[in-house]
Structures are given as C-alpha cells and as structure tokens.
A and B are shown apart, each in its own frame.
Chain A
Amino acid sequence: MKKIKKYIVATILSSIFTQQIFSQKVVLINGAGATFPYPLYSKWFYEYAKIDKTVNFNYQSIGSGGGIRQIIAKTVDFGATDGIMTQEQEKLAGEEILHIPMTAGAVVLAYNIPNFNQQLNLTAEIISGIYLGKITKWNDVKIKKENPDIDLPDKKIVVARRSDGSGTTYIFTDYLCEISKEWKTKVGKGTSVNWPVGLGGKGNEGVAGIIKNTPYSIGYVEISYAIQNKLFYAKVKNKSGKYINPSVESITAAIESKAKNMPKDFKVSLVDPEGENAYPISGFTWILVYKKQKDKVVAEKLIQFLKWAVTDGQKYCADLIYAPLSENLRKMVLDAINQIEY
C-alpha cells in the first residue's frame, strides 16, 4: 500500500517538473491587455487552437493600461490596447513596438432602466453632462428634449465607468475631449482619468456587470458586451446631426471618414467623424508586438496567428459587432506584420 502511494506521488511530482503534463510540445504565447476586443480575441484564440494545435494563446483581459504596462515590463509576448501608446511610454519600452490594428469597435452608452425597453437618443452635450455630474436625473430637460416621446423616470442616474486603465476609456474620453471644452480642460483623455463622478468597475466586464445589476444606471462599454448581456444602448447624434445606431456599418463609416489616408503606424483616432452615417464613438484596437522578437518559435507562431487574424479571422468580426478591416487596410497590416524581425 505504501509503495503504491509513493509511486503515485512520484509520478505526479515528476510529471509536474518535466513540464509536459498534458500534451507535448505546445507553445504557450502569453498576452494581456484590452478588454474591448476580448470577446473577439478569445473567439479567435479558441478557433485558432483548432487550426494550429501546437500553439495556445493565453490572453488575460486586464485592460489596455495593463497591456501597455506589461509590454513595457516585457512580462508578456504581446500586449493589446485601444489607446495608442504615448511617446513617453514608447521611450520607457526601450525598443520599437508595433501597433497592429486588428479590428474596430464601438463604445456604446448602455443603460438599465427598469420596465423601459426603448432606445434613447443621446447627444454629445448630454453624455458629457452626465459624466461631468451636471445632468443627474433621467428626466432632465436636456434628455427630454431629445426624447420627446419617451416617458423618463424621476430617478437619479447611476453613472458607471472604469476603475482600471482602459482603452475603452481612452476612446470615450478622446470623444468627450473632442466635443466638450469643459471636459478637455477639467479631465482630459487617457487610459485612466480622474473621474468627476461614477461607480468604478474593473474591465468592460465589470462595467457591464454594474449596469446589469444596478437599476437606473448608465455606462460606457464596448458594444459586444452590451449585446451579449442584453443591455439597451443609445443612439448618439454625430457631427452631421444624425442619430446613429452603433453597428458594423456605422463603425465602418467612421473608418472610411477618418482613416481614409491611413498613416504607416496606424495610429489614428476614429472619434467624432465627419461621415453622415458614421457612429461618433468608435476606435481601432491594436495588438502591440516587439519589432525585434527574441524567441524564434514564439515569433513565428505569433506572426502566423496575426496574419490569420487579419485575413481569415476577420469573418468572426461582424457577428460580435466589430468592423472588419477593409481589403486595402488588410494589405497594409500584412505589410506591417512582415516587418517583425526574429
């Protein structure tokens, strides 16, 4: 009996330490960052694991701030962000980091008003007013003016926002800076800002969780989080004065309007576009990779995956309401991926 016990213990220990417990020769590539594209990325990684069985992508959605921080600290193989790295951050990294755009998505204003199932119309003024703490009730005259046919409750608005460093926040505050002078001077834009109001949730998951669990709340989340959780979200008035429903088409319209002449480094903002049918709060999401890779195997697998993601992988975008990259853009991105050295 004792012998058997010893044998079992020995096998377990040796299997743990020989590092090959469950299968052989599978490369694990670790990434971290944005929660914004997490539904799409995890779909990709899940599907890609079926195509190439020798590689697993472990992606932790800790927020864009985290993606940037961990790629600077070199603790991950790739990062992901929806806010571009600042020059200061690139300097901290000490080596060249490529921004590879993977897809574009929309930040929506999702809300939870009990027994209410209509789509609200919001304007830049209302959104900035709510997040500056100036509009505090659902039946505020400003909201009423844009939604004359809707009966809004006399309840306080529970504002939800991110507690962590976030690219969704970057896109959202980028938008608020664009449309509100007061926001620009008082708060500014970034992956994390000093919020005037609001309940903080960790990740898009956290904010969606707060909205779902808290009556009379509103918050900004990436659209697929709103859809997967059956949250209602608002139409937003764009620059040309039209109320736009966030959708693959209206995000694509924003790309066409703002990224017509895509710069070589892909660092372009999509907020507050001119296009008539463009949704005003959308943005690209990028994967961050070191230009000079250290590990040959990891580099090869990573490049293969990135190429797959911006070509075949794009077919998964629309289902999750991310805008696929245009043909033109795909070519540019593939060129950029080919620049990765190892």
Chain B
Amino acid sequence: MSTTIDTSSTRAGAAEGRPRPDGPSVRQRKPGGRDLVAALPWVAPAVLLIFAIVLFPAGFMFYNSTRDISISGLDQGSVGFDNYVEVFTFPYFWPIFLRTIVWVVAVVGVTVVISLGLAQILNKAFPGRRIVRLAVIIPWAASVVMTTMVVYYGLEPYFGIINTFLVDVGLIQTPEGYGWTRNPETAFAWSIVIAIFVSLPFTTYTILAGLQTVPADVLEAAKMDGAGPARTYFGVVLPQLRGALSVAVLINIINVFNSLPILKIMTGSIPGYDADTIMTMIFKYIQNQHKVDVASALSVVAFLIVIVIVAVYVKVVKPMREV
C-alpha cells in the first residue's frame, strides 16, 4: 500500500529465497524436456485422474451418442449424427431449453441476492451468531434428496402438512389441499424454491469469506469521508466481493444446470414434458424410452452448453483475476 525507498535488511534476506529479476539465474531459461520428466512423477496421478474421470467418460459419452444402442443395451453399429437430429427435432426441445435457462437464471440469481444479505448479517457480531451460522449450514449437510422428499410429502394433497396448513388458514378451499406437485407450473416453481434453499449455504459462506477480507480501515476511511451505509456497501464492499461472488456464481451455474434430483422428485409424476429441463429430459430418455444413445447425444449437447456458458462467463467477468 505504501511505498518506501528504505531497503531494510529483511528485504535483502527475503530476496535470497526468490530469484531476483535482474540477477543472473539458471532458472531463467525456458522449461525443457528435463524439467518435464522431472515433474512427471508429481503430475502423473493428476493427469491420470483427469483422463479417467473427465476425458474418458466424455469421450465415451460422445462415442455412445453416435451409436445405435438397442432397448436392451446392445450396440448395433454407428448411426452418425442421427441421434442429434432426434434431439433437435423433438417438438418439446426448445421449450425445455428455455425452461432450463429460466431454471438456472432464477435459482442462481435469487440465491446470490439472498446470500449477499445473509452473509452481511452473519458478518456482524451479535449474540448467538455461531448458532445462526451453523443453522445456515444445515441445508448443505442434509442430503438433497431428503430435503426434497420432505417438501414433496409436505405438499401432498390429503396428508401433506403444508397443504393441511394452507387449508386450515383458509387459503385453499378444497379440503384435500392443492396438487402443488401435480401441476407443471407449481411443481417447477416449488423446485426453484428448494434449489435456492439448498444452494444458499455454499453461496453464503463463499460471500462471507469474501466479506472478511474487506479491510476494516477501508470501511473506516469511507465513514470518515462521509459515505452512508448504502454508498459504503455499493461503492466499497461490493467491488471487493467481486472475486468471491464471481466464483460462487460460476460454481452455482454449473451445479444448478446439472441438477437432477430436485426436479426428478418434484415433477416426476407429471405427464408430458411441460416441467422438464435438459437434465430431466436426459433422464426420461434413459428411464422411459430406454434410448441410451439419444440420451448420450443430449448429454453431449448439455455438456457443450455448459462449456459455452462458462467460457462466456469467464471471458466477461474474469472470475479468476485477482482483485
């Protein structure tokens, strides 16, 4: 922050551990084959792991997407890109695609806004803060399927407690309650609510970690200069949260896009394709139609969509750039 012309002894000592840019150094030469061989034992496990769990499945998925796989799972030869044609000519594909975008934008957007507020509260010292911080983690610690099932049963007509409550307070007129999970729009809306609920802990904690790196003296300086709370927040705090926020958003986009269990449980019994996203559609291809080949094709499409979204995001927001 402050620059001094004084070169103290500690400076010289520290310089010994690091090659000085102007000094003559053997490490200046370009990394050659010898270095690579020397590094191999250290990077090989990671490279193998990446190959085994990222590249091989991706390649295999792409291979499957160009095959004709019978209903009982036998490979019956290549069909070129016919499976992709089937994916894109499916009349519900574009509505499903749009719904996927709505799903990602709604869940990630609302999650981030709520998390910003929550993190702000948790960053203030107040009695019982530790307990509140723990409470925020709970949705993270619980299994997503379990959380979703609890809500699903709560929404059941006849015996669900949410339905019973709404009937008791007079908001629903039919005595058995409303079929929240039986209608595409309401089931999808509730799924968004659950997805936000389970995404909150991670996002809140990432932002909280970011908040704790905001130096107190900067805030003090803002106060001295007469900035009000709103001005301080938007002018000083928020820009410093950029790093934490953009990582949280990136990871949330990927996670939410690929989320299957919530929608599968909440919209599973609804006929037709009016509440599906790309992920549940992949699942339906496998489960209902036994088309592993077409499911693979749609998976490849989904994979490309995620990569495009992430690439655009990284290009525009530069989340990995140091603040």
Are A and B part of the same complex? no
B residues engaging A (CB < 8 A)? none
